[in-house]
Amino acid sequence: MSYIHVAACFLLVAAGGGIVLALASRRRGPVPAAVLLTVLVLFLLTAVFDTLMIASGLFHYAQGPLLGLHIGLAPIEDFAYPLAGALLLPALWTALRARRRAREASTENDEARG
């Protein structure tokens, strides 16, 4: 299995989870501009720090399973993980906030009745 296959699995799970969580929360999801800004910042950090870590010899990749595209020394496959996080975590945050609000509203209703 190549690195791109593993990265694709992460992205599919993150995108699917993000969609399910967004639908389950029944509220307005994350602001697209905020998600895009997050992706850009995470890509920049990935490019810089992966390049530094690879250059210093902390780790290396077998070249066979790589696509061969790099940003700095970071293989393009490495950018799937911050993208997956930027897709999934805001949806998870929104769903958890909606759940907490529903629980608080339920508690307030119970207190008003009792």
Model pLDDT, residue 40: 94
Which residues make Cβ contacts (< 8 Å) with residue 98, sequence separation at least 6?
25, 26, 27
Residue 93 has pLDDT above 90, yes or no: no
What type of residue sits at position 85?
G
User: How much is the average pLDDT of 70-81?
Assistant: 91
For residue 68 the two structure tokens come to: 């061969």
User: How much is the average pLDDT of 59-76?
Assistant: 87
How many percent of the chain have pLDDT more than 90?
24
Model pLDDT, residue 5: 86
